Amino acid sequence: MSILKEIALYVEKGDSSRVRTLTRIAISKKTHPDEILKDGLVKGMDLIGNKFKNDELFIPEVLISARAMKAGLDIIKRSLPQEMNTLGTRIVLGTVKGDFHDIGKKIVGMILEKEGHEVIDIGIDVPKEEFIRAIKKECPMILGMSALLTTTMGYMRQVIEAIENENLRENVKIIIGGSHVTQAFADEIKADGYAPNGIYAAELVKTLLGNK
């Protein structure tokens, strides 16, 4: 088994110590941080996300795996090349009101920063008023919303409606993500796109900005 497959396996198992050790070994073997991220950490978390969608796992188990992934991220973060916002784009990210999960959002933010975007993370449990304030203050090209729970997904619709009511919708592209979020749901609430993980989020942003 390759070391990247091992990393994915232990992320799935939620073994933070083993993920940390394997990530260090991968870096020592000159494995590119992007490969560790995409083919190890993200792949392992995608497996967990699919199981969660199929009701094979519960939130505590998802969070254990997310902590294992974060353990690997902490190791590779210093190795990821930073572009220092060479693209000149600003992105606001937030987890919607009622939801306190942010590991996925942090992963997305880290990948987007690595791609050269300026990322402003406004946190968790964010009400629609705070999203509005962030758009007016930061003037982002992209607004990203996340929700892990089915009970909080619906709040994304309220945020988009509030943005429309403030006549700000034409100013910003809106992307959404989360374990139970789908493209069909994105279409339903009139978001501009959906991404299942940080790798896809970076590609989606490129597409929306016309920077293919």
Give the strand order in the sheet containing 142-146: 118-121, 90-95, 142-146, 173-177, 193-194
For residue 132, being part of any structural domain is answered with yes
Q: Tell me, yes or no, whether 191 and 99 share the same domain.
A: yes
Q: How far is residue 41's CA from residue 101's CA, in Å, rounded to a whole number?
A: 18
Q: Tell me, yes or no, whether 56 and 111 share the same domain.
A: no
Helix, strand, or coil here: 120?
A: strand
For residue 194, being part of any structural domain is answered with yes
For residue 35, being part of any structural domain is answered with yes
| Cβ proximity of 143 and 92 under 8 Å | yes
- The single-letter DSSP state of residue 169 is G
Q: Tell me, yes or no, whether 30 and 120 share the same domain.
A: no
Q: What is the CATH number of the domain that holds 121?
A: 3.40.50.280
pLDDT digits (tens, 9 = 90+) for 141-190: 999 999 988 999 999 999 999 999 999 999 999 999 998 899 999 999 99
Side-chain-side CA neighbours of residue 31 (13 Å)? 23
DSSP 66-111: HHHHHHHHHHHGGGSPP--STT--EEEEEEBTT----HHHHHHHHH
User: Of 57, 79, 101, which closes a domain?
Assistant: 79
Confidence (pLDDT) at 80: 65
pLDDT digits (tens, 9 = 90+) for 81-131: 654 455 679 999 999 999 998 888 988 888 888 788 999 999 999 999 999
Side-chain-side CA neighbours of residue 111 (13 Å)? 24
How many domains, the chain? 2
Burial class (CB in 10 A: 0-12, 13-18, 19+), 188: exposed
pLDDT digits (tens, 9 = 90+) for 25-78: 999 999 988 899 889 998 998 888 888 888 898 888 888 998 898 899 889 877
pLDDT bucket at 212, cuts 50 / 70 / 90? very low
Q: At what angle do helices 3-13 and 16-28 cross, to 10 degrees?
A: 160
Helix, strand, or coil here: 135?
A: helix
User: Of 29, 56, 79, which closes a domain?
Assistant: 79
Output the pTM of the full model.
0.79
| Cβ proximity of 185 and 150 under 8 Å | no
Range of the domain at 32: 3-79
Confidence (pLDDT) at 197: 84
